[in-house]
Chains A and B, each alone.
Chain A
Amino acid sequence: MLSRIAESLFWIGRYVERAEDTARILEVQTQLMIDDPTLDIPTTCREVLAIMGVPVEDDAIVGTYELLQRLAYDPTAPASIHATMSNAREVAKRARETLSTSMWEAVNTTWRLIPSGQFERMGPSASFRWVRDRAALINGTADATMPRDEGWQFLMLGRSIERADMTARLVAAASVSTSSAWSTSLRASGGYESFLRTYNGLETDRKAAEFLVLDRLFPRSVVFSLGRAEQCLENLESAGQRAGFQNEAQRLLGRTRAELEYRALADVLTDLPAEMERLQQTCAQATDAVARRYFAGSVATIWNQGRW
C-alpha cells in the first residue's frame, strides 16, 4: 500500500472519531449547563475549551455561543466539528480509489450537509446526535465493506488512538466538573447502562472513572482503545518479535497502557487530569512514531537541476 494512502486512511479514522467524540463531549457539557443552575457558565466553557486543546485569550468573553462556535460550527476554528469533517472529507478524497464507493459516499454526504448550513440550523442537541449517527454510518459502512488488509489496520489504528485521546479528554472534563458530570459522561459515551449492570447499580465517581479509563471490555474505555491500537500495530508488523518491540509507537502505547493497568487505582485517580494529560501526549508521540515508520517519504522531492 502507498504510504500516502496509508496516511490518508489513518487520518480518516482519526477525524471521524474526533468529530464524533467532540459531539459527545459537547452533548454532556451543554446538558450540564442546562441541568445545573449553580454552574458558572464562563468558567465551565473555558475549562472545556482548555481540555479540548483550544487556546483562549484571557480577556475574551466565553459563553455557550463561543463554546459551540469554536468546537462545533465555526469552519475557521481548527477544533470544530465543521473543520474536522471537512478535513475527513479532504483526506478521504485523496484516498478515494482505495475506499469502497459506499464508504466514500458516506463521508461525502455527511460533509455536504455541513457547509450548506443545515448542520448549524439543527441546533445543538440534534446536531450532536446527527454527528454521532453519521459517524456510526461511516464506521459501520467501513466495517461492512472494507477488506481487513493494511488499509483497514491504519484506519482502525487512527480511530483507536483518537478514541483513547478523546476519552481521556472526556474523563478530564468530568473530573473538574461537579459530581453529576460522571453519569452524564457515561451516558455520552453510550456506556451508562452497561456501567450500571457491571457495578450492580452502585454509582460512584471512582467507579465511573475506573470504568471509562480501565475497563477491558467497554469499547470506548482508554485501556480498551490503547489495546486495539497495539493490536493494529502488531498486525502491521508481519514478522513476530522474539524480544521487545521494534516499533516505537507500539512501545509507547503499550507502556502507557501497562502503567494505567498495573498501578494502584487510587494512584491513578488522585490526579486524574494530569494523568489524562500524559496520556494525550503519548497519543501525540505515537502518531509521530507511526508517521516516521510508515508515512515517511510522502513529501515531494524537488529537482535542483543536478546541483546539490
Chain B
Amino acid sequence: MRNVTHHLFESYDDSGPAYDEMFDRQAPRESYARLADTFNSLAARDLATRAEGLQNSYLDQGVTFDIGGEERAFPIDIVPRVIEQQHWSQIDLGVQQRVKALEMFLADIYGPGEAFRDGVIPRSVVTTSSHYTRETYGIEPPNGVRVHVSGIDLIRDDAGEFRVLEDNVRVPSGVSYVMTNRRAISTALPESFAQHRVRPVASYPQRLLAALRAAAPAGVVDPTVVVLTPGAYNGAYYEHALLARTMGVELVEGRDLECRRGRVLMRTTNGLQQVHVIYRRVDDEFLDPVHFRADSMLGCPGLINAARAGNVTIANAIGNGVADDKLTYTYLPDLIRYYLSEEPVLANVDTWRLGEPDHREEVMDRLDELVLKPVDGSGGKGIVIGPRATAVELDQLRAEVLKDPRSWIAQPVVQLSTVPTYLDGRMAPRHVDLRPFAVNDGSKVWVLPGGLTRVALAEGELIVNSSRGGGSKDTWVLAGPGPAPVQAGPIAAAAREITPLDSGPVGTGTEGQVEQQQQQQQQQQQQQQSSEVAPC
C-alpha cells in the first residue's frame, strides 16, 4: 500500500484566482508552517479517526442546528484557520470603529436626524427600509447602547486584504460555535494547539453578561437578565441555551413573560419576578404583538411600552435592522468619516446602488459578471451570482430589479480566500469568510479574539451560510509569533504538609499479618476440599 501520510497536501491546488491563506505557490506560509508539519506527520487513518470523533462529539453534545425540522450536527472541519497578530489588530480596530459609527448612526436616526440635514445619507434610504421601526422612535436606551452584540462579516479578497461584506446588528448568531469549536479542536489537535499561542475565547459569556448588566435601567442595582428564545425548535436554540447556561441566567420563552403596568415579569414557581434586561433572540416583528405582528406567539404583549417607560432594556434594540440594511452599508464609509472624523480601517466591497439611475445603468449591461443581492435578505437568500446564472435567470432578475430597484445592490464577484479543508480523506481549498463578534458595554467595544469562520463545503461555492450547506472552522488568533511560553515551575517551592489518601481496610495491617491470614484461609479451603473427596 502506498504511504498516504505525506500526500495529504500533494494534490492541493492553490493556483486559483482566490487568495489561499495556507499556501503560497505550493509552499506553506509562515503562519501555517507548524500546522502543516502536524498534519503531514499524522497518519491518514489517525486523521480520519480524529475527524470522525469530532463529528460524533458534536452529536453527543447536541451541537446541532435544524434544517427543515431535521436535526444535524454542525459540520466542523479539523483544519483550523490561523490569523496572525498584525492582521488581527487591524480587524480589532476596524470592527470597533464600525460598531461605534453604527451606534451613532442609530442614535441619530431614532433621534435628531443630523446626518439627513448634513446630506450624508438621504432620509429616504432610512425611511424606506423595511427594518426602520417608527414605533421605537425616541426611545433612549439607558446607557446609550443599541448594538450590544454585533457580528461584522469580513472576507479576504484576491490580494489578501480584509474587507467588510455586511454588518449584523440585529441578532447575530454563531458565537456558540466559536466556543464549542475551540474546545473540540483543542481536544482533536492537542499537539498543534500547544505549539501556538492562541488567544482564548471562553470569556465571551462574562463579557456579554457584563454588557447586559451595564445596560440595565437606571437605579437597578442587581438587574435580572434573561435570554429570550423563540423556543426549542428554533435553528439557533443550541446557542440560546448555551449563552443562558454560561451566563447563569434564565432562558425564557415569550409565554414565560408577562407585562403589567409597564413592567416585564416572568412566571416562576414562586410567583412573578421582575425582569430588567432582555437579551432577545427573537426578531423585531415577533417581539410585541401590540405593535408588530398581532399573531405572534413568540413575544410578549406590552414589551415596547415597558421599554419606552424605561423599566426594561431590550438588547439588541428594536429597529437596528435599518443599520445592517445592505443599502445603508454602502453609506457606511461616509458615515464613519462624518461621525468619527476618521478614515475607515476596513474597506467595504465595491457596491452599486441600483436605486440610483447612473449606477443602475452601469450595472444593467453587466448583470452576467456581477453579484446581485436583495438589500434586506439574510442567510444568502435571493443572491444571484451573474457568471453562474442562465440567460433566463438573468432576464428574470432584470425584470425584478427594474420593478423595485431600491431593493437591490450589485457587487463584483469577489473570490473569497481559501483555506485547506479535510474532505473525503484529502485536503482541498474551500472558500471561507469570518464573522468576528463585538460586545459593547457602553464604555468600550470589545472584539472577541476569534470569530466564526464559515466554510463553503462544495467545490467553488461562494455562499458559506450553514443553511446552504456550509460548515465551520476554529479560528486561531495568535497572540504573537512562536509557541506558547513555557510556564515557570511551581511558584513557591517551600515544603508543604502533605496529607496522604486514606487507604481503607484493604491496605491496613502489616504485610505479614495479611499474608498469614490469606494462607490460613487457603489451607482451610484445601482441607475442606480433601474432606469432601474422602469417602465417608
Q: Are A299 and B250 in contact (CB under 8 A)?
A: no
Q: Are A105 and B255 in contact (CB under 8 A)?
A: no
Asked if A150 CB lies within 8 Å of chain B CBs, one says yes
Asked if A138 CB lies within 8 Å of chain B CBs, one says no
Q: Are B61 and A105 in contact (CB under 8 A)?
A: yes
Q: Are A2 and B255 in contact (CB under 8 A)?
A: no
Complex CA–CA separation, A74 to B52 (angstroms): 30
- The number of inter-chain residue pairs (CB within 8 angstroms) is 76
Asked if B388 CB lies within 8 Å of chain A CBs, one says no
Asked if A94 CB lies within 8 Å of chain B CBs, one says yes
Binds B, one of A172-180, A194-202, A300-308: A300-308
Q: How many chain A residues touch the partner (CB < 8 A)?
A: 30
Q: Are A298 and B232 in contact (CB under 8 A)?
A: no
Which residues of chain A are near B251, meaning CB under 8 Å?
Answer: 96-97
Contact with A along B253-297 (1 / 0, CB 8 A): 111101000000011111000000000000000000110001011
Which residues of chain A are near B289, meaning CB under 8 Å?
Answer: 303, 305
Contact with B along A69-110 (1 / 0, CB 8 A): 000000000000000000000100110111001001100110
Asked if B244 CB lies within 8 Å of chain A CBs, one says yes
Q: Contacts A112-B60, A298-B267 hold; do A2 and B252 have CB atoms under 8 A apart?
A: yes
Which residues of chain B are near A299, meaning CB under 8 Å?
Answer: 255
Q: Are A294 and B269 in contact (CB under 8 A)?
A: yes
Complex CA–CA separation, A5 to B245 (angstroms): 13
Q: Are B268 and A302 in contact (CB under 8 A)?
A: no
Contact with B along A1-39 (1 / 0, CB 8 A): 111111000000000000000000000000000000000
Asked if A297 CB lies within 8 Å of chain B CBs, one says yes
Which residues of chain A are near B268, meaning CB under 8 Å?
Answer: 1-3
Q: Are B290 and A298 in contact (CB under 8 A)?
A: no
Which residues of chain B are near A4, meaning CB under 8 Å?
Answer: 252-253, 255-256, 267
In the assembled complex, the CB of B271 is this many whole angstroms from the nearest CB of chain A, namely: 10
Q: Are A108 and B62 in contact (CB under 8 A)?
A: yes
- Residues of chain A in range 259-308 having any CB-CB distance to chain B below 8 Å: 294, 297-303, 305-306
Asked if B301 CB lies within 8 Å of chain A CBs, one says yes
In the assembled complex, the CB of B141 is this many whole angstroms from the nearest CB of chain A, namely: 25
Asked if B241 CB lies within 8 Å of chain A CBs, one says yes
Contact residue among B61, B241, B255, B270 (Cβ-Cβ distance under 8 Å from A298): B255
What residues make up the interface of A, taking CB atoms closer than 8 Å to B? 1-6, 90, 93-94, 96-98, 101, 104-105, 108-109, 112, 150, 236, 294, 297-303, 305-306
Task: Please provide the 3 A-B residue pairs with the shortest distance between their CB atoms, ordered closest to farther.
Answer: A303-B289, A300-B255, A97-B245
Further pairs besides A93-B241, A297-B258: 19, Cβ < 8 Å: A2-B256, A4-B256, A4-B267, A93-B232, A93-B237, A96-B241, A96-B245, A97-B227, A97-B242, A101-B245, A104-B62, A105-B60, A112-B59, A150-B269, A294-B269, A298-B267, A300-B297, A303-B294, A303-B296
